[in-house]
Structure 1
């Protein structure tokens, strides 16, 4: 089967928006493509986008960015594993040079470690330019692993990816140490807009967020997560922009904050593990390239800026969809009624 034939049956895609953004990361109006079989997602996210246009826009803040891979080596004992780590840590500059030599854009940010028995896990954290960086950092990790085994022949290979990364699995470590883009999208929504466009109030939104996302999520055992459906918007956006869709597993680990400010509702979505890239996405799919270009994510910018813009837009999409769904759930019967109307 040719690569071209894999695109013959596309996932239904619609453009939503425009969303309005303010701030340095993303500014102005941006329409976004969402690829999904869940048709109510389009009008629901569009409703949140409408609020952004009337409320002054969505502010997006990039807190951190890095891609990770964790190698694992086996020592004779825990003492030997710790000694091996001390030797590696003392040669961090050598490791940084090795990584820089594997790619034009890979740069070491930090090394982290865990030791379990005689196993040493080393988490390599890198900047990766406009790429999401999975392959880039894995290539760098292999170079570091080969160097470690040559420098310390008493160590044995365990894995090129020892799960301390952690890739496409729910975890606490990514939220604590970072993997992908750490992005926060926020908006201040006047009461009059809440009532007119979403048929809700700040008091209702704050109460629902507390009872559903935090208490309900806690009872369910959610891991670093308190949201209604981040995964829905992430998957639709990832598919439309050629991202590795499995990354919604860690990407959807995020939180919602609602604060009643008297004459407005403060609404924020925090996504600490948003993994996106504006290059290497879609593997040459012309539709993906077109989508990225229309969103201004293929422009001539400094390395990394297009990916940062893409992450900011993605976070705004998540906010719009989350806002709309939570507002619907403050009104008994609205969620079921609208889904039945749209999906029949």
Structure 2
């Protein structure tokens, strides 16, 4: 075997501080409170966009100055899979829905047979002519649940085709889930963890650390995130750059990166409270887990352990903790960017300074 020249080996070898071969930094710590966890932890971000590290670090620094830090409230937790049944007409489809919902307890029992971690929470449906779309909603423990819900849905679909009169197989995936697509249904009903991260920053801290005012950030949020997104035709979404933080966090913690499509849907809210800044980020589609495919990779497992997401806890609590950390990380980066954009030239100056300098990889 021919040994490559040292210069080539140096170019192709992954840096020692990289997760998944992508430049990675642990930023923070971030102080987080709420109904899932009370912690102070650094967070890993795998990204080629080097200004993201200091940007998130600025939001994290503010969280540490506040007793409650960033408060994250998890309001829902469910993973979905939709299936398609075919009938002869809408009347037959409607009759099938009546029979389907009457079998809910039976379907819950079948679900438990597919996995000890899967529980059927709810069933929703839509009828389009002779087509019956059925959206199953499950809990999936500490797994993100892609395969778990598909396995359960496949079992339920087979059972329904066998036992419901006048229906036939359409598809195991019917796009009413909706997986890795930006849709209204996910924004409304949620998919994965639905969480809101919020912070209340005193006036002096807004001035000293963000170099702006609550009034300016509130007005920019209206003009940019709300009006601008409406003008662009955004779907159940009004934020500046949730996708940046989520992708970096997902890659570093072994998540399915394509889920940032629906994960980046969310709404930023800002309010001037007598000079203090109230700022929140609501993310209804955080799809992540602490076990399952990709989580046994050495760097990923080390990251999850360091984040405190491999502890002995009730089933699902490690994944819910991870979701809270993800939501808080999004808020840190969103807050910092919004503050920067209230000041002419600040955003571009930072990008130019960090991304055009030698190596463009900086500690946060």
Q: Same fold (TM over 0.5)?
A: yes
1:33 is paired with a residue whose SS is: strand
1:131 is paired with a residue whose SS is: coil
**1:343 equivalenced with 2:355 (yes/no):** yes
Residue 113 of structure 1 aligns with which residue? Answer: 125
Kindly state the Cα deviation for residue 23 of structure 1 after the two structures are TM-superposed.
2.7
**Residue 20 of structure 2 contacts residue 251 of structure 2 at CA under 8 Å; is this kept in 1?**
no
Kindly state the Cα deviation for residue 9 of structure 1 after the two structures are TM-superposed.
6.3
Kindly state the Cα deviation for residue 55 of structure 1 after the two structures are TM-superposed.
2.6
Q: Please give the TM-score of this superposition, normalised by the length of structure 2.
A: 0.91
Q: What per-residue deviation string (whole Å, max 9, x for no partner) do you get for residues 110-169 of structure 1?
A: 000001010111100001100111100000000001101111363221100000100000
Matches of 2:20 and 2:288 in 1, distance apart?
24
Matches of 1:283 and 1:119 in 2, distance apart?
38
Unaligned runs of 5+ residues in structure 1 are none
Unaligned runs of 5+ residues in structure 2 are 1-12, 357-364
Matches of 2:140 and 2:255 in 1, distance apart?
15
1:287 is paired with a residue whose SS is: helix
Match for residue 271 of structure 1 among 267, 280, 283:
283
Residue 322 of structure 2 aligns with which residue? Answer: 310
Residue 143 of structure 1 aligns with which residue? Answer: 155
Match for residue 208 of structure 1 among 220, 228, 236:
220
Bigger mean CA offset, 24-33 vs 67-76: 24-33
Q: What per-residue deviation string (whole Å, max 9, x for no partner) do you get for residues 251-307 of structure 1?
A: 111011111111410000000111110111525211000000000000000000000
Residue 96 of structure 1 aligns with which residue? Answer: 108
**1:53 equivalenced with 2:68 (yes/no):** no
**Residue 191 of structure 1 contacts residue 265 of structure 1 at CA under 8 Å; is this kept in 2?**
yes
Residue 24 of structure 2 aligns with which residue? Answer: 13
**Residue 216 of structure 2 contacts residue 342 of structure 2 at CA under 8 Å; is this kept in 1?**
yes
Matches of 2:271 and 2:103 in 1, distance apart?
47
**1:166 equivalenced with 2:178 (yes/no):** yes
Matches of 2:338 and 2:188 in 1, distance apart?
27
Match for residue 37 of structure 2 among 5, 8, 26:
26
Bigger mean CA offset, 79-88 vs 328-337: 79-88
1:282 is paired with a residue whose SS is: coil
**1:194 equivalenced with 2:194 (yes/no):** no
Kindly state the Cα deviation for residue 77 of structure 1 after the two structures are TM-superposed.
1.1
Q: CA RMSD in A?
A: 1.5
Residue 10 of structure 2 aligns with which residue? Answer: none
2:114 is paired with a residue whose SS is: coil
Matches of 1:19 and 1:295 in 2, distance apart?
11
Matches of 1:264 and 1:229 in 2, distance apart?
23
Matches of 1:8 and 1:225 in 2, distance apart?
30
Q: What per-residue deviation string (whole Å, max 9, x for no partner) do you get for residues 55-76 of structure 1?
A: 3300000000100000101101
Matches of 1:342 and 1:206 in 2, distance apart?
27
Kindly state the Cα deviation for residue 317 of structure 1 after the two structures are TM-superposed.
0.2
**Residue 135 of structure 2 contacts residue 176 of structure 2 at CA under 8 Å; is this kept in 1?**
yes
Residue 92 of structure 2 aligns with which residue? Answer: 80
Kindly state the Cα deviation for residue 26 of structure 1 after the two structures are TM-superposed.
2.0
Residue 229 of structure 2 aligns with which residue? Answer: 217
Matches of 2:265 and 2:241 in 1, distance apart?
10
